[in-house]
Amino acid sequence: MERIGQQATAGVAVLNGPALQVDAAVRVQQSARPAIITPWVDFLCVGGLVVVPFAVIYALDVPFSEFRYWNSTVLLSQVLFNYPHFIASYRLLYQSKEIIQRHPWASIYLPIILVSYILFCLIHPLIFGEPINIKYWHFADLISTSYLAIHYTGQAWGMVASFSYLGGALLTKSERHAVRGTLYVFMVWHIAIANVVAPEYSIFFPGIGDFLKWLLSTTTVLAHVGMAAVVVAFLSVARRIGRVPPLAMLVPVPVLYFGYMILTRGREGIILLQLAHALQYLIFPLRVEMNRTEVSSPRQRVFHVLMYITGIAVVGNLVFVGTSSIPSSRCCSPQSSWPQW
């Protein structure tokens, strides 16, 4: 296990893979209360805005996907948050030859694998003029589900580690084990939920349906126990340092917990998790951009930040939506296959 003093660096590195391992990512403005943006902005972005709504949605079993403007809301959240978070990450990853060479799997090999798989899926339809086999899509979706389980929980740990360091509330070994152990449980929980609420995945594992249901019930219980352990760990931190730990450190794990509880009731919950995840991440590349910018006045800095946010939103919209910005009647409906995981 890494030394506690290295938590912030390790945490930032895991937020979205190697894309954030750049020098500017750890150059936070020096102040009496260190923060990525400001303490309150950090708190709101990493979970403060969504943790209470998530808890209410789960507790009251709110049928949010039946909301009249759900389709438009989904599209808006994707265009304003999810797509820009991809573009911001790509911009960091491909900013220099050095970064690309340092992380060849993320920057070169995985894209080649993905493009090769897409071409493989198209060979038969192009030759024989038949529709693409839906199993190819389901298989890619299944693989992405497993990746997202690692990705979401890894980012949550990165948030806890980074803000505990910034706020001078370093975790002891036992506290760190409680948080990370719970996130490992959440990772398996995510996979179990996905394979139960998305029945099309069963075509690849027709004989383990009962096992997956058992895994879901078991990991759900362990997740409750783990969440309680995280609360105890944070109380231990507060008692040891004599004050409330940084709020931005406290909310990432509960956000995942309530998000996964919502997800157990239906696949539409992944949209809420995507929103929370993207909002968490975006403050970090924004901080990098602010550190890179040499401006002579606060007004210029605000203008540059607004241009950056607008730029990644526009590029994300063009890349992932293109001219199909107006959702169809099936887009994002419970019966639609997009978006899923």
Note the pLDDT tens digit of each residue in 216-226: 999 999 999 99
Note the pLDDT tens digit of each residue in 188-221: 999 999 988 888 887 888 888 889 899 999 999 9
CA distances from 160 to 4, 219, 222 (A): 12, 22, 20
Distance CA 137, CA 169 (A): 44
The residues, any chain, with a CB within 8 Å of residue 209's CB and separated by 6 or more, are 202
Q: What predicted TM-score, i.e. pTM, was given to this entire model?
A: 0.83
What confidence tier does 78 reach under pLDDT thresholds 50, 70, 90?
very high
Query: How large is the average pLDDT for residues 111-136?
Result: 87
- Give the DSSP letter string of 87-143: HHHHHHHTS-HHHHHH-HIIIIIHHHHHHHHHHHHHHHHHHH--PPPHHHHHHHHHH
Distance CA 307, CA 286 (A): 11
User: Over the chain, what is the mean pLDDT?
Assistant: 85
* Count of Cβ atoms closer than 10 Å to residue 36 Cβ: 24
Q: Is 297 exposed, middle or buried (0-12, 13-18, 19+ CB in 10 A)?
A: exposed
What confidence tier does 341 reach under pLDDT thresholds 50, 70, 90?
low
Q: What is the largest CA-CA distance in the chain?
A: 70
Angle at 98 between CA 93 and CA 311, to 5 degrees: 30
